A and B are shown apart, each in its own frame.
Chain A
Amino acid sequence: MRIPCPFCGPRMLEEFVYLGDAALMRRPAEGATCDYVFLRDNPAGRHRELWRHEGGCGAWLVVERDVTTHEIFGAALAEARDAG
């Protein structure tokens, strides 16, 4: 996989570190902390997920990827609006 970093262009997978579902950026509602920390949708298909370009610019990215084929549809900076 190559991830198209908005700053650095397409870069090889080794430069990136994976965190998980981008839904984690939205803080949990009152009383939903356990679900937020431990439960995942874990879809087989398109997945919006958080990667950090650790070996490059250091930016946190939201990458949209098909987890059944590893096809990457795009990557954007993780921004406050993602936190909804």
Chain B
Amino acid sequence: MAYSFLSILREGLTGNRGWKPVWREPEPKPHYDVVIVGGGGHGLATAWYLARNHGITNVAVVEKGYLGSGNIGRNTTIIRSNYLLPGNEPFYEQSLKLWEGLEQDINYNAMVSQRGVLNLCHSDAQRDAYARRGNAILMAGADAELLDREGVRTLCPFLNFDDERFPITGGLLQRRGGTVRHDAVAWGYARAADGRGVDLIQNCEVTGFRIENGRVKGVETTRGFIGAGKVGMAAAGRAGQVAAMAGLRLPIESHVLQAFVSEGLKPVIPGVITFGAGHFYVSQSDKGGLVFGGDIDMYNSYAQRGNLPVVQDVCEGAMAILPMLGRAKLLRSWGGIMDMSMDGSPIIDRTPVDGLFINCGWCYGGFKATPASGWCFAHLIATGEPHPNAAEMRLDRFDRGYAIDERGAGPQPNLH
């Protein structure tokens, strides 16, 4: 059923008895043209764009748990395209453009809200760096605006402008950035892909790859062998374990990132605000909770929960710029597992195994990338050639000396 105002009206008047489950629960077929490993945002988006852009619909998405049970269901929902480097910025701008048309494209309300992303700066040097990044963003065709102190004050008068250590000297604003209802992204892509005939197979863990003569033939799963012409791995967080089954070692460490949400409040924060002197970012959900986070915990972890020192660090950042947050009660916190890559940038590439493709290394920026990641990964799987916007996100870029190191931190994953 296509969703529209009329369908809501009709169902409302007839007791809401006509709503159907939004996707099927198919048994896996013996063979598919493409099998995607991982039913999260990126895997589901890949399946949708394979069908939409390339007409490939004999596709299965196999998921260990339930659809959207990984980081698409546990992130801080921010979308933006304010990157510096040419290997990244066109990709993220493509993603932001896709967000802008997503709801019409998949006929699903993902609550895309372009409420602006504001990065605060606290020194002259940082303001210069923001001017440079803003110019790079503009040159890539995206939007950026350098605000002075008064400009920030007009937008966010509640900030602590005169902190002794980190006075606010201005900010870099991307008005087209914002937030999206994250679960709805998974559900919307799942429903849209299912509508084109893609099989979404839940509770089906991949336990191995069948590889013959250097070519992938399918995946071994807890529900039996599933043959495949091509296989795409989109299992961020667990990318290392999945890739290891194909004999690959990745330039990735898995780390835990915590996020927090306060009790529901009346609207107080207009967009997304980030603290420039530490690592803290905050936005307000449509339910009113302040959603915020900061640094990863800094040590390898698959635990989906973190430790208290980072909680304290995040709250210190909050109190430095947003003292009013100290009056709000913390409702809950959670952790997600990040593929932290060696340069802080993702990987969308072929692998040494024919027909096997990899999508991983999203660090803690995977959510905003979901549409472009699906688009470019589908392009790679369908055509065998990288999409121009993801051409630098190669698995072998470290060997070749072409790291995309946005932060200039070197091969130390917990510093990106």
Q: Using a CB–CB distance below 8 Å, which chain A residues touch chain B?
A: 1, 12-14, 17-21, 34-35, 37-42, 44, 47, 49, 51, 65, 67-70
Contacts and interface: CB of A to CB of B under 8 A. Distances in A.
Contacts of A12: 309
Nearest to A47: B300
B59 to A, nearest CB: 28
What 7 pairs between A and B have smallest CB-CB spacing? A38-B398, A42-B240, A38-B251, A18-B299, A39-B249, A44-B302, A14-B309
Contacts of B253: 20-21, 40, 42
Interface string B216-254: 000000000000000000000010110000000111111
B250 A40 contact: yes
Contacts, number: 70
B414 interface: yes
Interface size class of B (residues with CB under 8 A): 20 to 34
Contact of A70 (B250, B301, B412): B301
A13 B311 CA distance: 12
A18 B414 contact: yes
Contact of B411 (A38, A47, A65, A68): A38
Contact of A40 (B249, B298, B302): B249
Interface of B: 238, 240-241, 249-254, 298-303, 307-309, 342, 398-399, 411-414
Contacts of B300: 20-21, 42, 47, 49, 67
11 contacts: A1-B307, A12-B309, A13-B308, A20-B300, A21-B253, A38-B251, A38-B411, A39-B249, A42-B300, A47-B300, A67-B254
Contacts of B238: 44
A49 B299 CA distance: 9
B237 to A, nearest CB: 10
Contacts of A38: 251, 342, 398-399, 411
A65 B75 CA distance: 26
Nearest to B399: A34
A62 to B, nearest CB: 14
A67 B309 contact: no
Nearest to B403: A38
A18 B298 contact: yes
A21 B414 CA distance: 12
A12 B310 CA distance: 13
Contact of A67 (B251, B303, B411): B303
